[in-house]
Amino acid sequence: MRLVDNLWTTRRKPASNRVDNFNCLTGLLPSSSASERVCADSSLRRLVVWGSLCLSMALLALQAQPAQATTKSIDHYKLYAHSRIINYEQYKCLSRIIYKESRWNPQAKNGSHFGLGQMRSEHYRTLDAYRQIDATIKYITNRYGSMCNAWRFHERVGHY
């Protein structure tokens, strides 16, 4: 029976059959000429393929980011709206209206209506999300008196 000098080591020598993913990925791809395959030793071709693979992965990652950014942005918009309307019940009514109209998307468009509050004004369309919230609150306050009055009207008629 042999003594083990290091209990954490399971092998005496390093593994000999290491997998080279780069050669596996690029070895089967066609080269610039259709008649020949990419040679495993062709470093220039490997770099081109490797670069295009990295670029593809980066583009896929960028496409996934807006969903996360939108979720964070929606939270920021809600916090901003709540800072403008201190009463929680009134804030909930405003939140319901904006969710129903635009799902908190400042670029929402429905026919001739734009933004968070789905207003018709071209000026409203050019505002950022925070100014849209201010304009929506001002409109609702002037027309209905409160956010909950506007929500009750919205439930009854289907728009505000």
Q: Mind spelling out the 3-state secondary structure of 14-61?
A: CCCCCCCHHHHHHCCCECCCCCCECCCCCHHHHHHHHHHHHHHHHHHH
Distances (CA, A) of 124 to 82, 139, 152: 20, 11, 24
- Asked whether the beta carbons of 160 and 153 are under 8 A apart, the reply is yes
Q: What is the pLDDT of residue 14?
A: 58
Q: Which residues contact 119 (CB under 8 A, 6 or more apart)?
A: 113, 125, 132, 135, 136, 139
Q: What is the pLDDT of residue 67?
A: 47
Identify the burial level of 30 via C-beta atoms within 10 angstroms of its C-beta, where 0-12 means exposed, 13-18 middle and 19 or more buried.
exposed
pLDDT in tens, the chain (160 residues): 555 555 555 555 555 555 555 555 555 555 555 555 545 556 677 777 777 777 777 777 666 554 444 788 999 999 999 999 999 999 999 999 999 999 999 999 999 999 999 999 889 989 999 999 999 999 999 999 999 999 999 999 988 8
pTM > 0.85: yes or no: no
